[in-house]
A = this chain, B = another copy of it.
Amino acid sequence: MTTNVKSEVYAQLESVLEAFKEREINRVFFVACGGSSALMYPSKYFLDREAKNITAEVYSSNEFIHRNPSTLGEKSLVILCSHKGKTPETTEAAKFAKNKGALTVSMMFVETAPLADESDFTINYSWVAAGGKEPNPEVMNYAILYRLSMGLLYVKEGNKKYEKLLNSLDNLSTVFDTAEKQYANRAKEYAQAIKNEKTIYTMASGSNYGVAYSFAICILMEMQWINSQAIHAGEFFHGPFEILDKDVPFILLKGLDETRPLEERAEKFLKKYGGKLLILDAMDLDLTGIDEEVKGYLAPIVLNFVLRHHAVAIAEARNHPLETRRYMFKVPY
């Protein structure tokens, strides 16, 4: 990527942090749909744990509008995201929030879009190829969103995680490269092993749950037409675990945040009663250069990257390209 792209998005971020300084904010609404919504879960986890005077919610765009939260108002920050800035519900949600007096900040890949027109601020994250293949993690959606949510607490409450984040993001590219090499063959082997499965469950907790949700609904269901559900690792033992036997495939994410014991408990059970398991453990990743204090928050980004490689391998093994759709952008809905 060019230095230009990078400096542009950083300048956009700076303007937003300045806006944060200028107004009272007591509530953050993360509003988006599908995969763009899923990427907001880790930021809610961060705010839930660290914000002293700010509460956070994640809503699907249309639910947000119709639920019409009574606490939405002039002290609210609404962060929205739509990759192409054209998701109608999200554009509508920005307009709705602005009418209520909230500060609206929208993230998107493109520079001009309906969502941008309805938002106070726009941030153009990037998906620029490093070596022609992978997004540059420093400016991708997850990193930009953390800069926003951690930047918010830095500005409003003096939370120091923001500085640790900035120091860590520079090293994320190397972490991605190492992870890619580490999992390239394993992803292909996994894809071969599960290519005929009709149902694959995903599971995680805490900051990692959104990644499991995204893989279930966007990769497996949307892009591969494989049945799925993202099961919360704590909820697993209160119903869903009865579905498990040696033939039911599960993907379990083990992150590095405070909820890891929930994922470890699920792992123990999966290993005893399940058979077709993919367990991706952030402990196995080389996270050199990532500050100890933000490792738990950044692990989902790396796990998501590793899962994306599995998605590519699965699509190839099943001869079902990730781009294949029967309804999305093809029929009215």
A: residues with CB less than 8 A from B are 27, 33-35, 37, 45, 48-52, 55, 60-63, 66-71, 87, 89, 198-199, 205-206, 216-218, 221-223, 225-229, 232, 234-235, 237-244, 258-259, 261-262, 265, 269, 273, 325-328, 333
Question: Quick check: B234 and A217 within 8 Å, CB to CB?
Answer: no
14 A-B interface contacts by CB (under 8 A) = A34-B235, A37-B238, A45-B67, A49-B67, A62-B234, A89-B234, A198-B198, A199-B227, A218-B238, A221-B242, A227-B243, A228-B229, A242-B328, A244-B327
Docked Cα-Cα span, A228 to B222, in Å, equals 16
- Collect the chain B residues with CB atoms within 8 Å of residue A206's CB: 63, 66-67
- Collect the chain B residues with CB atoms within 8 Å of residue A235's CB: 33-34, 37, 60, 217
Question: Quick check: A239 and B221 within 8 Å, CB to CB?
Answer: yes
Question: Quick check: B68 and A49 within 8 Å, CB to CB?
Answer: yes
Docked Cα-Cα span, A71 to B153, in Å, equals 14
Question: Quick check: B69 and A234 within 8 Å, CB to CB?
Answer: no
Docked Cα-Cα span, A33 to B325, in Å, equals 36
Q: Contacts A242-B326, A333-B241: A262 and B228 contacting too (C-beta < 8 A)?
A: no
Q: Contacts A217-B235, A241-B327, A262-B66: A333 and B269 contacting too (C-beta < 8 A)?
A: yes
Question: Quick check: A234 and B333 within 8 Å, CB to CB?
Answer: no
Docked Cα-Cα span, A68 to B237, in Å, equals 20
Out of B63, B269, B326, name the residue touching A205 (CB < 8 Å): B63
Out of B34, B52, B262, name the residue touching A70 (CB < 8 Å): B52
Q: A62-B205, A66-B262, A225-B243 are in contact. List 7 more A-B contacts (CB 8 A).
A: A49-B68, A66-B259, A68-B258, A199-B199, A217-B238, A221-B242, A237-B333
Question: Quick check: B50 and A70 within 8 Å, CB to CB?
Answer: yes
- Collect the chain B residues with CB atoms within 8 Å of residue A237's CB: 33, 333
Nearest chain-B residue to A258 (Cβ)?
B66
- Collect the chain B residues with CB atoms within 8 Å of residue A239's CB: 34-35, 217-218, 221-222
Nearest chain-B residue to A64 (Cβ)?
B234
Question: Quick check: A223 and B241 within 8 Å, CB to CB?
Answer: no
Question: Quick check: A61 and B234 within 8 Å, CB to CB?
Answer: yes
Question: Quick check: B221 and A243 within 8 Å, CB to CB?
Answer: yes
- Collect the chain B residues with CB atoms within 8 Å of residue A218's CB: 238-239
Nearest chain-B residue to A52 (Cβ)?
B70
Docked Cα-Cα span, A150 to B228, in Å, equals 36
Q: Contacts A45-B67, A206-B63: A238 and B199 contacting too (C-beta < 8 A)?
A: no
Question: Quick check: B238 and A223 within 8 Å, CB to CB?
Answer: no
- Collect the chain B residues with CB atoms within 8 Å of residue A232's CB: 60, 63
- Collect the chain B residues with CB atoms within 8 Å of residue A37's CB: 235, 238
Q: Contacts A221-B239, A237-B333, A239-B35: A51 and B63 contacting too (C-beta < 8 A)?
A: no
